[in-house]
Amino acid sequence: MIVPRKNLTFWERLYLPAIASGFKVTARHFRNTVFKGNTVANDLSGGFYPEKKWVVAEGYRGAPYLVKDPEGNTKCVSCQLCEFVCPPKAIKITPPGPAGTADRPNAEKMPKEFEINMLRCIFCGYCQEVCPEEAIFLQKDYSLNAESRQELIYNKEKLLELGGVHQDKIWKWKHKAEEAKEQTTFPVAK
Amino acid sequence: MFQTIFNTISSWSPLTQFTFWSAIKVFGVFGVAMTIVAYAVLAERKISAFIQDRVGPNRVSLPLIGSIPFLGPLLTRWGIWQPLADGVKSFIKEDFTPSYVRKAYYWLAPAITFVPALVVIAVIPFGSYIGNQKMVIADLDVGILYSFGIISLGVYGIVLAGYASNSKYPFLGGIRSSAQLISYEIAMGMSVVPIFLVTQQLNLSAIVEYQAQYGWFALPFCARELTPLSFMIWPFALISFFIFLVSGFAETNRLPFDLPESETELVAGYNTEYSSIKFALFFMGEYANIIAGAGMMVTLFLGGWSVPGLSDAAIAKTHIAVGVAHILIFLFKVFFLIAIVIWVRWMFPRFRYDQLMDLGWRRFIPVALANILIVAVIVWAVTTFSNETKPALAHSAYQVNK
Amino acid sequence: MSTQATTEQKPAPPPIEKIKIKVDGRDIEVPKAMPDWQGKLQPTTMLQACQIAGIDVPHYCYHPKLPIAGNCRMCLVEFGTPAMGPDRKPVLNPDGTSKILRSVLPYEPSTPRGAIACATPISPGMEIYPNSPATKVMREAVLESLLINHPLDCPICDQAGECKLQEYSVDYGKAGSRFIEPKVHKPKAVDLGPRIVLDDERCILCTRCIRFTKDVVGDDKLGVVNRGSYNSIAAYPGTTFDNNYTLNTVDICPVGALTSKDFRFKMRVWFLKETKSLCTSCGTGCNTIVGSREEVMYRYEPRENDAVNSTWMCDSGRLNYKWVNREDRLSKVQGSKLKVQSQEKAWSVAIRDISEILRKAAAGSVAFVASARQTNEELYLLKKLATKSNAITDSVPRIGEGDRLLLNADRNPNSTGSRLIGISGEKMGSNLSKIAEGIRSGSIKTLIVFGEDVTKHGIGADLLAKLENLIVSDILPNATTAAAHYLLPGCAHVEKRGSFVNVKGRVQRFMQALQPKGNARAEWEFLHELVFNVTGQNGYVTIEGLFNQMSKEVPAFNGVSWAGLGDAGVTIQI
């Protein structure tokens, strides 16, 4: 697509009006900040950061954490799609191997280890978008601190603890298990 | 008491005296310059913050400083100690040297960027006199040529950084920077030629004295003695000033000409691979360059230390207070220009590279050349057809000193 | 001899009559008959014709190396045949072209009728419409029916990423499901055999596995049991699916119904880097693909090569890779006579010392035991060293039990290469006793061992102790490496490039999938340095150059070049 360029008028080409209006805008903000105390921080949270923490809006993309279903089971099934889609390669999943090790019925698989390197994470939300199990969500934490790089590599336990419980409406695996159980009596006789 | 000290000093041999005064001036200027660099960074952060509806650094303070009566509460505000914290931080941060860099050049580059900016300050007259001492470190007769020579050395640091980093973004940044600096060096050099045609001097102190006498080039009213010549060349002096100012932005890699480190394209340009104090040296080099550039502009166009009513260097020789006032006036003008440089950053978007080159080569250089020609004709006409002799310097004492 | 290096040794087939058909509106000529899964000529099918025309027809049950079943219906295409008049002559359109009758339902002429492309032979003048709207509707319908009871298991299914059902659902399927009833649930994670897990829910009943094990392996173990929606695959009662080729059914299973126990939940397939390689477990030299990620090898898969292994490989060979990932792999240059500790300098010091030993060695005082698991290039360089010191050389034979399909009795991957290059004699292993005798009598003072544990092959620890110099290169620790004076860590075949000659004389090359472990180096690299130091002959520092040099100097390889090997290899006269 070619966007036709507007032919500039003489005044526009001279650049001076642009300078003047640029100065006007910057001066207005300067004045309002210095003399009226209008700052973004005041507008949003009525104060400055450490004392008045910014309350993030709904849908804010903070740190990604793993969630549990309402029965307290891990939702992640180690499909590794988030690991694949993660642009900065912040996620590292260790698959369970042949044993599977799931802590709930019917889902045969869950990760042996799930690590997110929060130093690498760019909070893009791809992992949440790609997750077929609704097991990972970008939550509202935006201030992650640690005293070493190692500390900011969150493991499965920590991610699950921080992620909390997701009020799942679908109950995919549970429903499937119930459905299968209903069918066991018919028609394959034991 | 001062008198006895002065007497003692005057009893030394001229060489010892020269060395002594030079040392004092070097340390004094260096200390003040570094302080300005540090606080220019703070000023930049504060002004930027205000323009963006933020408040900028406002929390750093030293322990117990708040308990000083009256002054204490003030000293804990406005981030006054931020430069100190920044300095400490850049020293104790991890100094990471990537494995693929060319080590010797990699170490050399920050120093090469930083040093020329400081060396340029040596020829800038930052005041008139204190006692018998001229307030300039090196009173060179070829001052302006020297400063242009030194400033162009700064580009080597940047090019070297780009080359030594051995990775693509710094390399592109280095290439851009060298092309940009060379282009604008020419325009900048030619823009000041009219001033030398008028003053017939290359010595920066002499240029300041000329302006104190016949009016600042950028503002001819500020004069002890108004002459028609000053007003005849005023428009052309303003063109010169404008070209010099814009080239100054380009030379110091400031927005809207910060293509060598344009974050959106080149990560951070030539200093991408640098960290810790090496990065800080680049950073400080940039501000030192701004200060040197502002000093040059004040000297060449804004009458240096002079101000109407207080523009006689001779008084300063006898009154130390006037000498000090001259230094403060000079500093005030420099601060004013620094503030403009900082402010401009938020008024313009970055130029495209072809626009940058176009502006340098196809606008400024022809205009500067025409400017030289017209001013030359005016000076020739004035000296030939007027009754006055050619503009003379107010202070023949200056010539006597030589 | 050199002129006989060809890719195939079959005589040129007799010319086959070609017939003209139209595929997707394009005129093409296809042979009237084409080889079927056994290589016998059979009438060309519509699917083959489409493949010749470069158009993919989706299919599940059809597999080029299996008999045709035609039960999945995925390859349904709309087609047309020239209309015939009552006089049995083609009816012509006004413009002179022959009139085409599209296939329709006989009782409902407005509805197109498809035919399964995999089993319908072509006829002259036929037109195939693999992309027509009717064909698309047929595919959608077939996929919809296949997906009725297919579980949404993709996140936990090992097949995800290489699953035909996924791929075709994306390419040809409907976007949404209209099915609201509960799905039929069948047993999951059924233990079908020692290496196979069956998930009955996922099965689409294409019967590829049944046909494979019955017709290719000849072990008729699998079948379909139960009726209707409850159809499921099972091994015959009281038996288990345990022949040596079971894992091939995992490869040919188009969905995730049959999965490998070994690979189960180890890694998602889309992460695996695929490298063309060879199986090293026997003399057949099956072509393989190595799946690896971040320097860990996860699996072997067979790679199609009709001259060697068709598209199959045996389970024993496929699972024989775990030593590559072993923790105790040799990764340091060491040995009792090595004087430096720093691994950075170890290679240069060791190479210098060994060169010195070999240069000074009296003729006949050196012996080489080079494994027939080493590549041709390495054996060739070793042979050069041996010739210089007039050394006695041999390899260690490995004989197991072969079968009629792929597994060869010779369990060395490169016995033929070792023989052709002259490391071992016509009867491999005959020199081992002479070497043992030479050490015992003291005439052999230096023994160079590559890739073998000689203590298990007649040269015991007591004999090794008598040697002045024992130079060993290996990849895993054993009794010989423990006794070595100089131990040079080598590379597994997946960590280097090289070539093998299989028992039938096929020269095949393999590529590097992983980086060498630790300080290990590919054997041919340091052997090249040794040869230069000892003989003064310079050589090539690339595997290409080295192979081409070898093919000039070793008569059996004359006329073969590294580039000419290609992916499938070249058969030479042996």
pLDDT at A187: 56
Residue C1 has pLDDT above 50, yes or no: no
- Pick the last residue of a domain from B92, B112, B145: B92
pLDDT band at B389 (very low <50, low <70, confident <90, very high): low
Distance (Å, whole) CA A170 – CA A173: 9
State the DSSP H helix or E strand holding residue B127, giving kind and residue range, or none if neither.
Answer: none
CB contact under 8 A, C267 and A95: yes
C246-275: average pLDDT: 94
Q: How many CB atoms lie within 10 A of CB C321?
A: 24
B4-30: average pLDDT: 82
Q: Dihedrals φ, ψ of B354, to 5°? A: -70, -35
Q: What percent of chain C has pLDDT over 90?
A: 74
Q: Is A188 on the interface with C (CB under 8 A)?
A: yes
Q: Is A62 on the interface with C (CB under 8 A)?
A: no
Residue B339 to residues A83, B79, B398, C409, C549: CA-CA distances in angstroms? 48, 18, 33, 87, 73
Residue C3 has pLDDT above 70, yes or no: no
Does B304 reside within a domain?
yes
Question: DSSP per residue over C78-106, as a string?
Answer: EEEEE-B-TTSSBPBPTTSSBPEEEPEET
pLDDT band at C333 (very low <50, low <70, confident <90, very high): very high
B88 and B145: one domain? Answer: no
pLDDT band at C491 (very low <50, low <70, confident <90, very high): very high
pLDDT at B396: 39
Q: How many CB atoms lie within 10 A of CB B377?
A: 11
Instruction: Find the Cα–Cα–Cα–Cα dihedral C56, C61, C64, C68, rounded to 10°.
Output: -120
8 Å CB contact between B206 and B393: yes
Residues of A within 8 A of C189 (CB-CB) are: 108
B386 and B366: one domain? Answer: yes
CB contact under 8 A, A39 and B53: yes
Residue C47 has pLDDT above 80, yes or no: yes
Residue C201 has pLDDT above 60, yes or no: yes
Q: How many CA atoms lie within 13 A of C406 on its CB side?
A: 28
Residues of A within 8 A of B52 (CB-CB) are: 29
What is the C-alpha radius of gyration for chain B, rounded to an integer number of angstroms? 23
What is the C-alpha radius of gyration for chain C, rounded to an integer number of angstroms? 29
pLDDT at C9: 54
And the tokens for B97? Answer: 């040297």
Supply the mean pLDDT for chain C: 91
- The whole domain housing B75 covers 57-92
Distance (Å, whole) CA C314 – CA C301: 10
Helical H runs in C461-516? 461-466, 479-483
Residues of B within 8 A of A38 (CB-CB) are: 53
**Pick from B306-310, B323-327, B393-397: least confident:** B393-397
CB contact under 8 A, A172 and C152: yes
Q: Count the domains in chain B.
A: 2
As averages over each run of 10 residues, the pLDDT of chain A (190 residues) reads 87 81 90 86 82 86 92 89 95 89 73 94 94 92 90 94 88 85 65
CATH of domain C18-145: 3.10.20.740
Q: Dihedrals φ, ψ of B183, to 5°? A: -60, -45
Q: Which residue of C has its CA nearest to A96?
A: C265
Residues of C within 8 A of A80 (CB-CB) are: 268, 271
Residue C516 buriedness (CB in 10 A; 0-12 / 13-18 / 19+): buried
* Interface chains of chain C (3 or more CB pairs under 8 Å): A
Task: Looking at the complex, report in whole angstroms how far the Cα of residue A132 sits from the nearest Cα belonging to chain C.
Answer: 7
Nearest Cβ partner for C155 among A77, A98, A182: A77
Distance (Å, whole) CA B366 – CA B187: 9
B114 and B74: one domain? Answer: no
B73 and B131: one domain? Answer: no
Which letter does DSSP use for residue C113 in this model? -
pLDDT tens per residue across span C217-239? 999 999 999 888 889 999 999 99
Residue C8 has pLDDT above 60, yes or no: no
Q: Is A143 on the interface with B (CB under 8 A)?
A: no
8 Å CB contact between C338 and C353: yes
- Count, residues in chain B: 402
Q: Is C268 on the interface with A (CB under 8 A)?
A: yes
CB contact under 8 A, A78 and C265: yes
With vertex at residue C265, the alpha carbon angle to CA C264 and CA C269, rounded to the nearest 5 degrees, is 90
Helical H runs in B52-102? 71-75, 82-92
State the DSSP H helix or E strand holding residue A114, giving kind and residue range, or none if neither.
Answer: strand A113-117
pLDDT at B233: 83
CB contact under 8 A, A32 and B54: no
CB contact under 8 A, C151 and A176: yes
Residues of B within 8 A of A23 (CB-CB) are: 343, 347
CB contact under 8 A, A108 and C189: yes
pLDDT tens per residue across span C381-429? 999 999 988 899 999 999 999 998 999 999 999 999 999 999 998 888 8
Q: Dihedrals φ, ψ of C443, to 5°? A: -75, -30
Residue B353 to residues B267, B270, B357: CA-CA distances in angstroms? 16, 16, 6
DSSP bridge partners of C92: C98
Distance (Å, whole) CA B126 – CA B135: 6
Domain boundaries, chain C: 18-145, 183-325, 343-571
8 Å CB contact between B333 and B291: no
Distance (Å, whole) CA B113 – CA B126: 23
**Pick from B71-75, B120-124, C481-485, C509-513: least confident:** B71-75
B308 and B278: one domain? Answer: yes
B239 and B265: one domain? Answer: yes
CB contact under 8 A, B50 and A19: no
Task: Looking at the complex, report in whole angstroms how far the Cα of residue C262 sits from the nearest Cα belonging to chain A.
Answer: 7
Quote the ipTM score. Answer: 0.82
A–B CB contacts, 8 A cutoff, strictly below: 36
Question: What share of residues in chain B are helix, strand, coil (percent, to 5)?
Answer: 70, 0, 30
Distance (Å, whole) CA C58 – CA C73: 10
Q: Which residue of A has its CA nearest to C181?
A: A179
B66 and B186: one domain? Answer: no
Q: Which residue of A has its CA nearest to C232?
A: A188
Does B218 reside within a domain?
yes
Task: Looking at the complex, report in whole angstroms how far the Cα of residue C290 sits from the nearest Cα belonging to chain A.
Answer: 19
Distance (Å, whole) CA C525 – CA C451: 15
Residues of C within 8 A of A106 (CB-CB) are: 188
B188 and B69: one domain? Answer: no
8 Å CB contact between C521 and C489: yes
DSSP bridge partners of C80: C102, C127
B165 and B280: one domain? Answer: yes
CB contact under 8 A, B53 and A48: no
Residues of C within 8 A of A189 (CB-CB) are: none
8 Å CB contact between C317 and C286: yes
Does B8 reside within a domain?
no
pLDDT tens per residue across span C517-529? 999 999 999 999 9
Q: How many CB atoms lie within 10 A of CB B96?
A: 10
Does B264 reside within a domain?
yes
Q: Is A30 on the interface with B (CB under 8 A)?
A: yes
Give the fold, CATH level 3, of C183-325. Answer: Alpha-Beta Plaits (3.30.70)
Residues of A within 8 A of B255 (CB-CB) are: none
pLDDT at A88: 95
Does B128 reside within a domain?
yes
Residue B402 buriedness (CB in 10 A; 0-12 / 13-18 / 19+): exposed
pLDDT tens per residue across span C157-185? 999 999 999 999 999 998 888 988 888 99
CB contact under 8 A, B348 and A22: yes
Distance (Å, whole) CA C72 – CA C62: 8
Q: Is A52 on the interface with B (CB under 8 A)?
A: no
pLDDT at B234: 86
- Count, residues in chain C: 574
Residue C310 buriedness (CB in 10 A; 0-12 / 13-18 / 19+): buried
Task: Looking at the complex, report in whole angstroms how far the Cα of residue C308 sits from the nearest Cα belonging to chain A.
Answer: 31
- For the domain made up of C343-571, the CATH class stated in words is alpha beta
C439-448: average pLDDT: 91
Question: DSSP per residue over C314-344, as a string?
Answer: -HHHHTTTGGGG-TT---S-B-TT-----HH
Higher pLDDT, B283 or C11: B283
Helical H runs in B136-192? 143-151, 154-165, 168-191
- Chain B positions touching chain A (beta carbons under 8 Å): 47, 49-55, 343, 346-348
Helical H runs in A37-138? 40-45, 81-85, 126-130
Residue B383 has pLDDT above 70, yes or no: yes
B60-73: average pLDDT: 76
DSSP bridge partners of C294: none
Q: Do chains A and C touch (3 or more CB pairs under 8 A)?
A: yes
CB contact under 8 A, A84 and C188: no
CB-based contacts of C430, cutoff 8 Å, min separation 6: C394
B69 and B145: one domain? Answer: no
Nearest Cβ partner for C264 among A98, A176, A188: A98
Residues of C within 8 A of A179 (CB-CB) are: 182-183, 185
CB contact under 8 A, C265 and A183: no
pLDDT tens per residue across span C548-570? 999 999 999 999 999 999 999 99
Question: A11-50: buried (b, 16+ CB within 10 Å) or exposed (e) per residue?
Answer: eeeeeeeeeeebeeebeebbeebeeeeebeebeeeeebee
Cis upstream peptide for B256 (omega within 30°): yes
B335 and B396: one domain? Answer: yes
Distance (Å, whole) CA B397 – CA B399: 5
CA B32, distance to chain mean position in Å, is 13
Task: Looking at the complex, report in whole angstroms how far the Cα of residue B50 sits from the nearest Cα belonging to chain A.
Answer: 5
- Pick the last residue of a domain from B44, B68, B92: B92
pLDDT at B9: 76
B357 and B312: one domain? Answer: yes
Q: Dihedrals φ, ψ of C477, to 5°? A: -70, 145
* Interface chains of chain A (3 or more CB pairs under 8 Å): B, C
C111-133: average pLDDT: 92
